[in-house]
Amino acid sequence: MGPPRVASAIAMVLLLLSSSFLLRLPLARARLPNPNPTSRALLLLPASSPLRAFCPASRRPSSATCSAYAAMAATDDNPLLADFDFPPFDRVEPAHVRPAVRTLLARLEGELADLEKGVQPTWGKLVEPLERIVDSLDVVWGTVDHLKAVKDSSDLRAAVEDVQPDKVKFQLRLGQSKPIYEAFKAIRNSSDWETLSEARKRIVESQIKEAVLSGVALEDEQREKFNQIQQELEKLTQKFSENVLDATKKFEKLITEKNEIDGLPATALGLAAQTAVSKGHENASAENGPWIITLDAPSYIAVMQHAQNRALREEVYRAYLTRASSGDLDNTNIISQILKLRLEKAKLLGYKNYAEVSMAQKMATVDRVEELLEKLRAASWDHAVQDMEDLKVFAKGSASPEANDLTHWDLNFWSERLRESKYDINEEDLRPYFALPKVMDGLFSLANKLFGVSVESADGLAPVWNSDVKFYCVKDSSNSPVAYFYFDPYSRPSEKRGGAWMNVVFSRSRVLARNGSPVRLPVAHMVCNQTPPVGDKPSLMTFREVETVFHEFGHALQHMLTKQDEGFVAGIRGIEWDAVELPSQFMENWCYHKNTLLSIAKHYETGELLPEEIYAKLVAAKNFRAGTFSLRQIRFASVDMELHSTYDPNGSLSIYDVDRRVAERTQVLAPLPEDKFLCSFSHIFAGGYAAGYYSYKWAEVLSADAFSAFEDVGLDNEKAIEETGRRFRETVLALGGGKSPLEVFVSFRGREPSPEALLRHNGLLPAAA
């Protein structure tokens, strides 16, 4: 999963739901007095006092409290406000967030007012100061938001909740600035327009579009209503995400009898025992237990694929499917409110529905999305039906008592048994060949071959938020640094949200260059949730975890290898959302490339290479149940699009009615009546994929076609592969948002994209083709 991407400065401001921002504080855990205005003398502040930034009149704390805030907000003391080369992730505490963000916003308000007063329709007097304002907020808020994703706590939640309305208020103020909007229109209408580079034209046009989508044309009551909606949406999406994390953490299944978890591989048993130790069962061991099963991905997937105990599979499956759908953590009403507010926002902007708002910033249209999804659905359906028949036949042949009644918690279990039988391959047996350090070495070697860059460890150069986090430097062929990135690989269910993502720390920028450098170098972070090391063993990965690392590294490469110096279109910024998955999904293809895979697959103890016959089996199993997996993504994309286009959130149908209707044409086995997966569908209700989940399939068409360029020249032709890789770097990875995605693709491929390669790669083409 990729991070929210932004098409312009104003989009960046309004869509920065997952960005990160940092400030500096002393190592000592500073604690603030607890404000209690009812029992203390109120501090009276003059209108000009900077303390008003964090001591608002509506809830003025005592003099001591305001003084404490002021002291913490001082640049020398607060890590988030310090001048740093890399964010001080190790020093930021929840207590730093309120004073830092409020101090920063007060400063940015002044800078914005100065910009508006003296604004001129020139690059130096408009775009450059605007980029500085946006970046200042981007860095600090992005750091805070990142820490909330990887090091969550109740104190940090409370701090973010307190300052979030202030942050959104400033974003709206910036996004609706008429002087800035008019200045951008003046640039577009000037006689100098044709002299601008394509990247600069893209910046101006996207700024104008985003200003309109930000409500710049609304007046009085409509603008006030729009701003209220934005504030409420930010609160709701934040709460949605917190409920999913809390519901995931809440489920723990303690098991004391070994026979209850028969079938679980040694890796899963070790992880379950390690979890038990962390929960107070000091003597827990993989061999004797006790064991704790959770809904975190490594634990959940292991149970669903390997536990012979059908009752355990059912319990865990039902718990996972109904996360955040009951009690205090129920997201049902939150979803309803989000959909109502998005629809109301769309109508205020003059659109029929929120999908149209979303498409205004993408390559596709609603009609083209529906056309693509239906084409892929039709190509996948018969294959998925056959997948189900194959499972039933295999289960009956195994004389299993559940064979005549296969249901949802049986599918992954029996799919894994069928895959083992059909291809003589066991994913757990492959783990020893995929130790994380070796996988990373092979990935970096591939990047060197394709793109001419080297990746070196730079641990210790930048502060990190957890001791498991690695830091790397990316260098070009002249051995000069071009970028840096953090890698946080392991699952930490007590504090880290699920999934995998890449996001921006710093963007490449000429304007924000430091210390005499011509540009500021890009910095990214990659976050995964794979199986952590158990005992004295390194992290031994499943093949799917290997694919995930390649995927996120693809995102990071596009951010880090950009050659755009204009910050608003550098790296992943300014790229239409439905194209951002191209490089990530492109990189996944290399996991099946023989030389690449054999370079990373070495037994962690013996050094033995993965036998070629096992590689052949992996390739043969690549499209196992491809129809089923394709329909799954199409279901998610279709329900997302329908909820944001034709669904009436004020009508009689529920969101679950919509999902069940979509499932009738996208799921061979009807969902359970209690299926509430929407309550944990964070991509569209707490991320940047609302009316945009289709982007995975849209970009998959682009990525498959891009990889077919390497197939065309011959995957064994080293010289041609390197030449094609350099062309991919100079187009897809280098051009960022400074050129339209379609033009970028044509520059690389020489023609417009076709879905044929995707269907061929997935084995979904008709036999005659």
Query: Active-site residue numbers?
Result: 552
Tell me the two tokens of residue 593: 């490339």
- CA–CA dist 506, 138 (Å, integer): 9
SS3 of 697-758? HHHHHHHHHHHHHHHHHCCCCHHHHHHHHHHHHHHHHCCHHHCCHHHHHHHHHCCCCCCHHH
* Cβ-proximal residues to 297 (8 Å cutoff; 6+ apart), any chain: 491, 498, 529
| Count, residues in the chain | 769
The single-letter code of the amino acid at 292 is I
Using the 8-state DSSP alphabet, how is residue 456 labeled?
Answer: E
Cβ(462)–Cβ(500) below 8 Å = no
- CA–CA dist 97, 123 (Å, integer): 33
The single-letter code of the amino acid at 58 is S
- CA–CA dist 393, 397 (Å, integer): 6
- CA–CA dist 441, 317 (Å, integer): 36
**Got the DSSP string for 333-394?**
HHHHHHHHHHHHHHHHTT-SSHHHHHHTTSS--HHHHHHHHHHHHHHHHHHHHHHHHHHHHH
Q: H/E element holding 272?
A: helix 266-278
Tell me the two tokens of residue 716: 């064994």
Using the 8-state DSSP alphabet, how is residue 124 labeled?
Answer: I
- CA–CA dist 252, 296 (Å, integer): 10
Handedness of CA 359, 365, 367, 370 (dihedral sign): negative
The single-letter code of the amino acid at 427 is E
Using the 8-state DSSP alphabet, how is residue 139 labeled?
Answer: H
Please compute, for residue 728, the number of CA atoms within 13 A of its CA located in the half-sphere on the CB side.
27
Cβ(451)–Cβ(430) below 8 Å = no
Q: What are the φ and ψ backbone dihedral angles of 605, each rounded to 5 degrees? A: -100, -45
Measured CA distances, 417 to 391, 406, 628 (Å): 9, 14, 16
Residue 481 bridge partners (DSSP): 475
Q: Is 506 helix (H, G, I), strand (E, B) or coil?
A: strand
